[in-house]
Structure 1
Amino acid sequence: YSIIDETEPFEAEHNSPLVRALTLGILDIEKNRPTLIRKTGTGDMNVIGNSLSIPVVTYGPGDPHAAHTIDEKISIDEYLRGIEVLKRTIQHLKRLHDKIK
């Protein structure tokens, strides 16, 4: 076999406003501090984060270890909580942005 393409890894700074806002959004809805993990696959976040030099994160409801497997599934409640997490994240990101202006 031969490698025909590659994507450079990307890791957002843990103290970036985006990571802080997402952490706060998760705390608001789930009531516990999230565990930050490295995604060992690739995705748009690698390309966007590296090419634009901006913090990028991947977030979604459900078990990250079951993602893209035959066992991947989420409940409607998990889906709706995920939407609320993202709404809160945007609110926290705006607040953090306004604070540093």
Structure 2
Amino acid sequence: MKKTFILFTFISFGLLTFAQHLHQVLILNEGYFDYTNNEIVVPASVGVYDPIENTYSQVLELTGMRFGSDLVIDGDFYYVAADTKIFKIDLDSHEIIS
């Protein structure tokens, strides 16, 4: 019984020590382009879901882009492929770097 308790304690400690914290969930909204009328109805945008507060907010609108297709996170930046461009964006401030 004592060995089981010690094993359980070590496993619990290991799981709690190396647990990851989820800060935000990035969501790429691809937008809507009306090909018949050749106009952007809803521009592509990036939103953030906060799982702790259970809230969603739009943080970036990619004006002039007909659609967004991919979002990739790399270190302190994330990259968005939209229409004919690839945007490099700061992960915390959501400012377009290039």
TM-score (norm 2): 0.23
Compare relative contact order (CA 8 Å, sep 6+) and give the higher one, 1 or 2: 1
The answer to which structure has the higher helix fraction is 1
Q: Find the structure with the greater CA-based Rg.
A: 2
TM-score (norm 1): 0.23
